Chains A and B, each alone.
Chain A
Amino acid sequence: MAVDVSHDLLGAIGGVPRPETDVVVDARGVNKWFGRLHVLKDVSLQVKRQETVVVIGPSGSGKTTFIRCLNHLEKIQSGRIFVNGHLIGYREAGSGGKLVEDKEKNIALQRQEIGMVFQRFNLFPHMTALENIIEAPIQVRGAGKDEAVAMGRALLDRVGLAAKEKSYPNQLSGGQQQRVAIARALAMKPALMLFDEPTSALDPEMIGEVLEVMKELAREGMTMIVVSHEMGFAREVANRVVMMDEGVVVEEGTPDQLFSQPTQERTKTFLSKIL
């Protein structure tokens, strides 16, 4: 299905959000356990302003967990995560370098800068497409209703869903729901967008329309981390591809390097399975 995605997606939110730092994501030595399961082992990753990083790796390697740590949907046990210059989820307690969990208010503030798109969309089923989009700008940012609605409509228009503003999520196809979900995240004017396998719950014919929106975002200069095995997407817009396995960043490089000349055995094995 051809979807008319506008070439001015970020125009709907007043232009490309400008992160305050050159390095938008700076994760250093992140360790995460689920009980006794060591899920992230000293993971470090830097993402520069306007970069698109694609994360690949076998199921269970910790990709989802890692990007959930970036907006503190998961706690970490050691390491530091900075997004847009802010330490995420924690504050330093005293001089010993010990971290304590931050106040709810500060965490909520940090999350406003980070848009997240889920595998299963997670739209609010009791709200229309437009209401989904304007909810957080009004409730969280304190935007006026008229202003939020105008921006919401512009966003819906740019993702090709202008006619669907009054539809409830269960009246939309998977691809349409995911596009609304992207618009909803963009409405908060985030400095960073996280995508967790945004097309893996979609029927094949709907994957293209969602990838189209994401490619447009990348081209317009949004900073993004995308967990996805869509090689075409990665080749087209990714600045870097990161390969994760068993909680470790195995290797990273440009899409060409990583897909054509992987240096690590684990990457080769994995690529041979998905290509």
Chain B
Amino acid sequence: MARSIGSLGIRRARLAGFLLLLVFVVSACSSNKGATYHFEWDITFRSILSPNGAIINGLWLTIAISIVAQLLGVVLGIFAALGKMSKIWPFRLVANFYIWFFRGTPLIVQLTMFYYAPQIAHIVTWPTFGLGPFSFSDSAVTIGCLIMGVNEGAYMAEIVRAGILAVDPGQSEAAKSLGMNYRQTMSRVVLPQAARVIIPPLGNEFNNMIKNTSLLYALSVYELFTTFDNYAVTSFQYFEYFFACCFWYLLLTTIWGLVQARIEVRFSRGSGPTSTGISWRERLLGRANPDEISVLGGH
């Protein structure tokens, strides 16, 4: 019941959102308050259909930073989760402090503080580095990406911990009784099973990550948002550029949503009930629940 209303709500919200946008655009185009504003929608179309080098570069940076920061977050999250569950109290202390700090303060404060403060205080000058295909020529990109990953690790820690706790304790006992040590038990037996629980929220984390990279605006990193913002403020064509900006973010998050559905189906193999998966159509239009009919029918 609650689920069907939720799903129905989502579909209604999508429809309502779309209509609202339409009304907004139409009325904005036709209103003539104060000075005239000339809409140049071809800017939007050009930014979408034939994006220039700067936009492509921004898109690439958004993707690259998201992936690197998320990978870093997963690795840190695993260590932080193991630290939080460790028998050794200093590990627990460090892990708890890390999680507490990074979950308890705004990401934009962390970004600004860790990037600027040490440089302003002449403690360090951040270096640049390259990581395989992700060569970041700019220290703001490098450090920004690092901080995003460290922040993400604190969130992943809780997700990984929940995943590990969901694995039957009999599994690690069986592994130990075969002579496996802690590392083998975790990496070969517990974590692969925890993955089934970790993957769905991890997908949501990555969706957030794609959008949160826009906060690198604070470090003047020319990812998608900063690039479009720069065009908007210099041309005064705010609507036109930000609509295009939204398009690119929606493209990324939508593609990721489809990839995520694939991954989730794959990971539910092997044990437990197999998920039936979500079709492309359902992803785009929302899923109709069988009992939704009764809601619509008023019974």
Contact = CB atoms under 8 A, between A and B. Distances in A.
Interface string A125-142: 110000000011001110
Interface stretch (B74-82, B116-124, B137-145, B169-177): B169-177
7 contacts: A118-B170, A123-B174, A124-B175, A125-B270, A135-B178, A139-B180, A141-B179
B197 to A, nearest CB: 13
Given A122-B170, A122-B171, A139-B184, A168 B271 contact: yes
A91 interface: no
A188 interface: yes
A71 B176 CA distance: 9
B180 A126 contact: no
Contacts of B178: 111-112, 135-136, 140, 184-185, 188
Interface stretch (B62-70, B152-160, B185-193, B232-240): B185-193
Contact of B182 (A73, A104, A109, A184): A104
Given A105-B181, A124-B193, A141-B179, 20 more contacts: A71-B177, A73-B177, A108-B176, A108-B180, A108-B181, A109-B179, A112-B178, A122-B170, A122-B173, A122-B174, A125-B271, A136-B178, A136-B179, A139-B188, A140-B184, A169-B271, A170-B272, A184-B178, A185-B177, A188-B179
Contacts of A109: 179
B291 interface: no
A114 B188 CA distance: 20
Interface of A: 71, 73, 104-105, 108-109, 111-112, 114-116, 118, 120, 122-126, 135-136, 139-141, 168-170, 184-185, 188
B10 to A, nearest CB: 33
B168 interface: yes
Contacts of B174: 116, 118, 122-124
A169 B177 CA distance: 19
Nearest to A168: B270
A182 to B, nearest CB: 12
Interface of B: 168, 170-171, 173-182, 184, 188-189, 192-193, 270-272
Contact of A112 (B171, B179, B184): B179
A209 B294 CA distance: 50
Given A126-B192, A126-B271, A135-B188, A108 B171 contact: no
Contacts of A141: 179
A139 B179 CA distance: 9
Contacts of B175: 124, 136
Contact of B271 (A120, A139, A170): A170
Q: Which 4 A-B pairs have the closest CB atoms?
A: A125-B271, A112-B179, A136-B178, A122-B174
A140 B168 contact: no
A268 B180 CA distance: 42
A120 B168 CA distance: 11
